[in-house]
Amino acid sequence: MKQKAVWACTLLLAGLSIGAAQATDLTVRVDAREVARKRVHTELTLAVKPGPLTLVYAKWMPGEHGPTGPLESMIGLEIKANGERLTWSRDPLDMYALRVAVPRGVNHLDVSMESGLATEGAGSTAAPTSSAQLAIVSWNQFLLFPKGVDADKVSVSATIIAPADWTVVCALESKASPGGAYEFESSTVAQLIDSPVQMGLYAKLIELKGSEPHADLTHRLSIMADSAAALALPGGLAQGYSRLVAESGALFGSRMYRHYTWLLSLSDHIAHFGLEHHESSDDRTDENALSEADLRMGIAGLLGHEYVHSWNGKYRRPKGLLSPDYQKPMDGSLLWVYEGMTQFWGAILPTRAGLITPEYFRDTLAGWAGHFDTEPGARWRPMADTAVAAQVLYGAPDAWEASRRSVDYYEASVFLWLDVDAELRARSQGRITLDDYVRRFYAGASGAPQVKPYVEQDVYDTLATVAPGDWRRFIHRHVDPTGTTALLGALERTGWKLVYSAETNAYVEARQKRKKQTNRQWSIGLILDKDAKIIDAIEDCAAARAGASPGMSVIAVNGQRFTAKVLDAAITEAQNTRRPIALLVENSDYYRTLSVEYYDGPRYPHLVRIEGRLDTLSAVFSPRVQ
Ligand SMILES: [Zn+2]
């Protein structure tokens, strides 16, 4: 009710000139009419008191788990008090903090900021967020606010002006004014940053069917793309996502949002990832991703993952990952819960909903298990360290990734949670499963977003209420050691084991297609990009033993110009002839032929049933809602 009262007040003020008394602590007006040329103009009005003031730009970003606020996008700044320009200076020890002296008698500052958005392949920390036809505006990029405040306590009135004819969608309610400006419902800085705006020329909004609990809540799938053709929806898509909503309700038993909107952006010119929010998610993938069945299953995994975060990550969040002022450094120790359990349910729920087939789910699991099975990095870096070091690993280059290890807690934890599920089933003759734990850990009153922080012991205490036992010890068998003993053992407890064969893996194929890579990590041990540059060479595999390494380019295979097909033919031929494969590689302008001694033919990971063992894996992904 309080928000509604302030909202009415803000609407009245919108007609007054900037500089009038503020009903809110902060007014932000983003002019994104030039977003297609990657330039944005912002005007801020901040309520202040006279004296020294430090303004900050959001640094530690929720969901990105690192100091990733794209500060370099600031390309112009002017701070004024009563029309007079003030001088400002940067804190020499904190790049995100700007100091200014507020003159006597001044109660607000007018800030004008210019932003130059990231371009493709620029190598900056910021990822491209806009194309010629669409953009995702993340408010954190256009805000300055006083240092040391809890962003949840700073009230804000926000407006955005989009390019003419573009559709604007956001989890916050908005009202369009005649000048093309969208005025959003009154919020706080934290709520605003948690509610990115999707805008674009080609847009489609799909209302999904609600489900218990709270069947009246609105769920929307907002799709924007670089072309009208990319918006063509395959039959059954809306029904599939409505089932996902139903399966999430059956699992969690609560809904921690007032409404939920997936902001799905389809473009080959923006960075591809998903970012979770309480009431929406920013989901980005290829322009053609809706047109092919395997890519659609990839989208289901992405949308499932970000949706699960509304409960796991946004509502229940590790205490160490809270940064109320976006300046407090984050502690990623529990990312194997925050991201790992999300990755688990983000794959399981779409499979329960029928958006992912059981075969594709098993190939996905095989791809992940196979990755860890060959990854040299798992031999020296424990999964726990991939979480703690996340803030470095997210931005690390692809070169040497297999040896370095990446943010492996996503997929490695899936096996951890499968193990917990199998253990719960084993202790209860199948009566208790991980679903029961979830129902307890994420319990709460449905409705407006809230955060309920937790510490590691809370996970074990809740597990113990479901089934008594030393859960810390059980789980740390996965988290602390190096190697893959616990991971592959967990898979086998579900009644399936990892094998390799010449048959391709659907998940690996789809991933290669999406990333435009040639992945032969399980045979000769190479992953190549679309230009045949070696992204990574698995140390100890045949190609690396022959001298291949990241950064080199493969020019020819057995004397023939490289293509994936030519390489595959050579791998098969070597199996028959037992003669080494000749790889002509270029290394910083010099050519060399490597003799790759690999004779085991094409090799891809798969899961096969273990005869006589109970198939609990299929029980995990079977639908709960009929
Ligand atoms: Zn995530």
What mean pLDDT comes out for the span 137-149? 97
Fold match between domain 204-496+611-626 and domain 523-602: no
Distance of CA 443 to the CA centre of its chain: 24
**Helix axes 340-352 and 293-308, enclosed angle (nearest 10):** 130
Distance 395 CA to ligand 1 centre (A): 15
Rounded CA-CA distance 220/591 in Å is 54
| pLDDT for 51 beyond 90 | yes
Sign of CA dihedral 10, 12, 14, 20: negative
Distance 339 CA to ligand 1 centre (A): 5
Alpha-helical segments (H) within 215-357: 237-252, 293-308, 335-338, 340-352
| pLDDT for 22 beyond 80 | no
| pLDDT for 534 beyond 90 | yes
What does the chain come to in residues?
626
Residue 130's alpha-carbon distances to 34, 169, 274, 275, in angstroms, are 11, 15, 15, 15
**Stretch (H or E) spanning 472:** helix 471-479
What mean pLDDT comes out for the span 373-400? 96
| pLDDT for 610 beyond 70 | yes
Reported confidence tier of residue 626, pLDDT bands at 50, 70, 90: confident
Q: What pLDDT is stored for residue 123 in this prediction?
A: 54
Query: Are 444 and 462 in contact, with CB atoms under 8 Å apart?
Result: no
Q: What pLDDT is stored for residue 92 in this prediction?
A: 98
Residue 514's alpha-carbon distances to 97, 275, 371, 529, 594, in angstroms, are 39, 19, 18, 11, 29
Distance 306 CA to ligand 1 centre (A): 6
Structure tokens at 98: 């700007």
- Kindly state the percentage of the chain with pLDDT values over 90: 94
Distance 391 CA to ligand 1 centre (A): 14
Q: What pLDDT is stored for residue 41 in this prediction?
A: 98
Query: Are 97 and 90 in contact, with CB atoms under 8 Å apart?
Result: yes
What mean pLDDT comes out for the span 39-65? 98
| pLDDT for 16 beyond 80 | no
Distance 159 CA to ligand 1 centre (A): 28
55-85 per-position pLDDT tens digit: 999 999 999 999 999 999 999 999 999 999 9
Reported confidence tier of residue 180, pLDDT bands at 50, 70, 90: confident
- Of 373, 378, 387, 381, the closest CA to residue 343 belongs to 387
Mean pLDDT value across the chain: 94
Distance 309 CA to ligand 1 centre (A): 7
More confident residue, 317 or 19: 317
Strands 167-170 and 197-200, sheet pairing: antiparallel
What's the CA angle centered on 267, arms 131 and 69, to 5 degrees? Answer: 60
Distance 275 CA to ligand 1 centre (A): 7
Place of tokens 């996502």: 241
- Kindly state the percentage of the chain with pLDDT values over 70: 96
- Of 267, 42, 225, 43, the closest CA to residue 137 belongs to 42
Distance 610 CA to ligand 1 centre (A): 31
Query: Are 18 and 81 in contact, with CB atoms under 8 Å apart?
Result: no
Distance 600 CA to ligand 1 centre (A): 37
| pLDDT for 351 beyond 50 | yes
Q: Name the residue type at position 362.
A: R
What's the CA angle centered on 313, arms 312 and 318, to 5 degrees? Answer: 110
Global confidence as pTM: 0.95
Q: What pLDDT is stored for residue 34 in this prediction?
A: 97
Distance 401 CA to ligand 1 centre (A): 20
Distance 194 CA to ligand 1 centre (A): 14
What mean pLDDT comes out for the span 3-27? 45
Q: What pLDDT is stored for residue 125 in this prediction?
A: 54
Reported confidence tier of residue 9, pLDDT bands at 50, 70, 90: very low
The SS3 assignment for 548 reads coil
In the chain, where the domains are located? 1-200, 204-496+611-626, 523-602
| pLDDT for 3 beyond 90 | no
Strands 84-86 and 167-170, sheet pairing: unpaired
What mean pLDDT comes out for the span 447-473? 97
Distance 341 CA to ligand 1 centre (A): 9
Distance 143 CA to ligand 1 centre (A): 24
Which CATH number describes the domain made up of 1-200? Answer: 2.60.40.3650
CATH class of 204-496+611-626: mainly alpha
Q: What pLDDT is stored for residue 23 in this prediction?
A: 72
- Of 182, 173, 169, 175, the closest CA to residue 136 belongs to 169
Distance 178 CA to ligand 1 centre (A): 38
Distance of CA 435 to the CA centre of its chain: 23
Distance 345 CA to ligand 1 centre (A): 11
| pLDDT for 17 beyond 90 | no
Reported confidence tier of residue 354, pLDDT bands at 50, 70, 90: very high
Listing DSSP states for 577-600 in one string gives H---EEEEEEETTEEEEEEE---S
Rounded CA-CA distance 539/547 in Å is 10
Query: Are 45 and 113 in contact, with CB atoms under 8 Å apart?
Result: no
Q: What proportions of the chain, in percent to the nearest 5, are helix, strand and coil?
A: 35, 25, 40
94-125 per-position pLDDT tens digit: 999 999 999 999 999 999 999 999 999 765 45
| pLDDT for 153 beyond 90 | yes
- Of 32, 47, 201, 36, the closest CA to residue 110 belongs to 47
Rounded CA-CA distance 503/604 in Å is 6
CATH class of 523-602: mainly beta
Reported confidence tier of residue 10, pLDDT bands at 50, 70, 90: very low
- Of 413, 548, 402, the closest CA to residue 486 belongs to 413
Rounded CA-CA distance 357/350 in Å is 9
Distance 196 CA to ligand 1 centre (A): 16
311-345 per-position pLDDT tens digit: 999 999 999 999 999 999 999 999 999 999 999 99
What mean pLDDT comes out for the span 21-41? 91
